Amino acid sequence: MRIAEAAEAYLRHIDEVRRLSPATVRAYRSDLAGLAAVCGDVELSAVDLEVLRDWLWQAVQRGDSRATIARRTAAVRGFFAWATETERIETDPSLRLVTPKRGKTLPKVATAQSLEGMLARLEQAAAEGDPVALRDHAVLEVLYGAAVRVSELCGLDLDDLDPQRRTARVLGKGSKERVVPFGLPALRAVDAYLVRGRPALAARADTPIGGAAAGRSASGVARAGGAASALFLGARGGRLGPRAVYDLVSRELGPELGAQVGPHALRHSAATHLLDGGADLRAVQEILGHASLGTTQIYTHVSSERLAASYRLAHPRA
């Protein structure tokens, strides 16, 4: 079997059987396409360890990050392990392929005061009634208030909200569903958006979106079916996409952190503020939807850094 043909079969496997996230499937597709381009139109059995090492070395020479190289290593190791298990090849050439260690970096976190100021500014802009301003305020309140991923936020439907319990049902990585809480400010922002913002955005679409549900408040949302069920709409009336959310967060939060930031910065900030406020680490893990507690523990390091900084500033013998 040729390497490109085998790669397509593997990608279908991780998409349809293992149910990996669409982003992971896209990344692995790109990685395996790069390997196929280097190897040429050869049989899968012709690829050996030296070919794989040379492929990764080319990535190093291009200046690819450690995280990217580690992902590419994971992609080919998973690919060849699957090929061996399904008897497409006899031996796995990637067994001795070493995954480079990722550099340890702490996530960028905004202070609670700066986020309060940003959200207050957005609330003031939304009070003027512009539908995009109403949506932007609701989007950032939910991102920070529920600590969700951008893909989870964009995938929210109208009936995923439970305003009485102040919770949202989100679909996370690996198609795992979880219920996350959000606060009263987020509920108020979403309520205002559903009443005054969403109907106006829906009217911009070629086909009206939302029907009778579009003008309801959060206390009366209902599934409208299909694409019409989207909670957050873009400027043209379709479901809001991740790129628009990235642009929004970068514009509003970038100046505060002095760097190019994305929606994950709000998730990082929410997790850190929860731990700073005394939340249990296991509870934060559940809210974030982390499979491993070790992933959540990075936020304890962020809190420790803040504690050390406060000590150095305040203690006379620091």
- Which is the catalytic residue, given 71, 108, 149, 273? 149
Let me know if 299 is a catalytic residue: yes
Q: What is the rounded distance in angstroms from the CA atom of residue 142 to the CA atom of residue 171?
A: 15
Let me know if 267 is a catalytic residue: yes
CB 117 within 8 A of CB 165: no
In this structure, what DSSP letter does residue 200 have? H
Q: What is the rounded distance in angstroms from the CA atom of residue 202 to the CA atom of residue 212?
A: 11
- Which is the catalytic residue, given 196, 216, 239, 264? 264
- Which is the catalytic residue, given 290, 301, 306, 315? 290
- Which is the catalytic residue, given 135, 137, 198, 267? 267
- Which is the catalytic residue, given 13, 173, 196, 204? 173
Q: What is the rounded distance in angstroms from the CA atom of residue 67 to the CA atom of residue 263?
A: 19
Long-range contacts made by residues 111-119, C-beta under 8 angstroms, separation at least 24? 112/269, 112/273, 114/256, 115/144, 115/266, 115/269, 118/252, 118/253, 118/256, 119/144, 119/185
Let me know if 236 is a catalytic residue: no
| Phi, then psi, of 239 in degrees rounded to 5 | -60, 135
Q: What is the rounded distance in angstroms from the CA atom of residue 84 to the CA atom of residue 94?
A: 11
Q: Which residues are catalytic?
A: 149, 173, 264, 267, 290, 299
